[in-house]
Amino acid sequence: MRKEQITDQLKEYYPEGLTLDDIMAYSASEAYNNRKRCIESAWSDREQWEHLKESLTDLSAEIWDYSFLGGSPSYHFSFHLEQNEDILYSLFVSVILPYFAIRIMSLSNREKSFTPVSDTDFQIFEKLKKKVQHVFPEHLIIKDDRLLQTKVDIFEADGENPPSIQHLLFSTIET
């Protein structure tokens, strides 16, 4: 996946040259309406998402659902394993473009990665990846930390100027 490809795709959902500060222009844009339609559709038909969450009972973990929180364009849940409560796993499935990502975050130092490091990380990562690809077969995983943190100069949102690909596809939420 290349930055240019994703950036071009994002332009369909984020108006170029606008900021959230200009609410009137932003909410009147075609890109905003495209994004809003995708979120509303995914919000009203959560069957796939609920199916995915139900398939995760083998993790024996409490799952916290943050989908669409703050207007983010993604299904999003987080959990930690009982044997290591310092590591928080988060799954993001974009509802505007066919991408998903799995974030691993250390709660003690807030370090984040979208690439597994430990054996447990690899096992969780592969399990989540397979389950997502089963429920959302058209979605591709993005594992490249640098790609996800790449700044995209098309739209200003929530004080992050310019925002990252992660922010525009998924969320800025740190849970």
Per cent of the chain over pLDDT 90 is 55
Rg (CA), the chain: 16
DSSP classification of residue 158: T
- pTM to 2 decimal places: 0.90
Q: Residues of 97-127 as b/e, b for ≥16 C-beta within 10 angstroms? A: bebbbbbbbeeeeeebebebeeeebeebbee
Q: What pLDDT, in 10s, does the model give residues 136-169? A: 999 999 999 999 999 888 766 655 567 889 989 9
At a CB cut-off of 8 Å and minimum separation 6, what does 154 contact? 7, 10, 11, 14, 16, 17, 162
| DSSP type of residue 163 | P
Measure the CA–CA gap between 146 and 138, rounded to whole angstroms: 23
The helix-helix angle for 119-135 and 47-54 (nearest 10°) equals 140
Q: pLDDT tens digit string along 33-69?
A: 999 999 999 999 889 999 898 888 887 788 899 999 8
| Chain-centroid distance, C-alpha 108 | 22
State residue 158's pLDDT score: 56
